[in-house]
A and B are shown apart, each in its own frame.
Chain A
Amino acid sequence: MARFTSLADHKFRIYGLLIAVVAVILLVTLHMLNYQYEEEWRDRIFIINHFIIVFGLYMIMFSKEIHDDERVQRIRYNLLKVNYTLTICGILAYIAITTLDRVTLSIYIVFYIIETALIIYQLLFRYCLARNPDWIFKETTRNKFAVYYVFLSLLFLIGWIIYVVIKFKI
């Protein structure tokens, strides 16, 4: 009996890449031509275009490699954590900035954050597959970074309190 897998076949990497590349070319072309079909349609077309890019990049991300053994799965698992952290923190930080500084929330920036995180994931994934760096496998070496996480979180918290005190004159 075939084992269940949430990943698509490795051929889907090529389909995902094609979809993403075509969507990027289309987006760049529309920007270069300064596309103006109808005012309310402009944003819709650009947003759909970004959706297609994200869809293509996710398709690459959730496709198997040709030799999808447990080393590849370990690399994927560790880098997915990085990708989700980058995406969630990026979007939350952007929403926080727009709320506090009264800046209009732009859906394009949200798309850029998601796309950047996905591209970083792809670059790191390919690098790790080719180079087998120690840090991707060894939990013990990465645990050293726990101190930096705590330090950065505290720094962020202190900065946040200072910002709130200055901004809202508490």
Chain B
Amino acid sequence: MRNTIKVERAKKNITQADLAKAIDVSRLTIHSIETGKFNPSILIALKIACYFSITVDELFILEETD
């Protein structure tokens, strides 16, 4: 699964730390989600999607290997 968090962050011009603070997780959690190491729960996925005002399926994209 890949995601567009980095792109959305760039559009909004915010850092990982800003996003982490907004959804109440640590910066390393955002980093591990961005790099695809860690798949977040629905709750965090929804929080991030709400923060960027987009849908979850726009943020997280399934790949062939999933």
- A: which residues have CB within 8 A of B? 67, 69-72, 74, 129, 132, 134, 137-138
* Contact present for B37 and A129 (CB under 8 Å): no
Could you tell me the distance between the alpha carbons of A11 and B31 in the complex, rounded to whole angstroms? 26
* Smallest beta-carbon distance A78→chain B, Å: 12
Judged by DSSP, the binding face of B is: loop
* Contact present for A137 and B32 (CB under 8 Å): yes
Judged by DSSP, the binding face of A is: helix
* Contact present for A137 and B26 (CB under 8 Å): no
Contact A137 to B37, CB < 8 A, known contacts A70-B44, A71-B32, A132-B32: yes
Contact with A along B40-61 (1 / 0, CB 8 A): 1100100000000000000000
* Smallest beta-carbon distance A143→chain B, Å: 14
* Contact present for B41 and A71 (CB under 8 Å): no
Known: A67-B26, A69-B44. 16 other contacts (CB 8 A): A69-B26, A69-B29, A70-B25, A70-B29, A71-B25, A71-B26, A71-B38, A72-B26, A72-B29, A74-B38, A132-B28, A132-B31, A132-B37, A134-B37, A137-B38, A137-B39
Give the size of the chain B interface in residues (CB under 8 angstroms): 13
Contacts of B28 in A (CB 8 A): 71, 129, 132
Could you tell me the distance between the alpha carbons of A138 and B37 in the complex, rounded to whole angstroms? 7
Query: Which of B25, B32, B37, B40 is within 8 Å of A67, CB to CB?
Result: B25
Contacts of A134 in B (CB 8 A): 37
Could you tell me the distance between the alpha carbons of A137 and B39 in the complex, rounded to whole angstroms? 8
17 contacts between A and B (CB under 8 A): A67-B25, A67-B26, A67-B29, A69-B44, A70-B29, A70-B40, A71-B25, A71-B26, A71-B38, A72-B26, A74-B38, A129-B28, A132-B31, A132-B37, A132-B38, A137-B37, A138-B37
